[in-house]
Amino acid sequence: MRLENNQQFPSIVARRVQGGEMAIPADLAGNWSVLLFYRGEW
């Protein structure tokens, strides 16, 4: 999915590599961020 300018990122909950979860975009609000999604083996 491609986001257009001023379009809000959809709300999702993701597992952290080191354990626990994070709510996106709520936990990243107010900061510039880069999200990497590892899909497993190709």
Give exposure, 7-41, as e/b (b: 16+ Cβ within 10 Å).
Answer: eeeeeeeeeeeeeeeeebbeeeeeeeeeeeeeeee
Residue 19: what pLDDT? 93
Residue 38: what pLDDT? 78
Does pLDDT of 41 surpass 80? Answer: no
What pTM, to 2 d.p., does this model score?
0.53
Identify which of 38, 41, 40, 31 has the alpha carbon closest to the alpha carbon of residue 16: 38
How is the chain split into domains, by residue range? 1-42
Does pLDDT of 42 surpass 70? Answer: no
Tell me the per-residue pLDDT of 6-40, one tens digit each, with 9 for 90 and over: 888 889 998 888 999 999 889 888 888 887 777 77
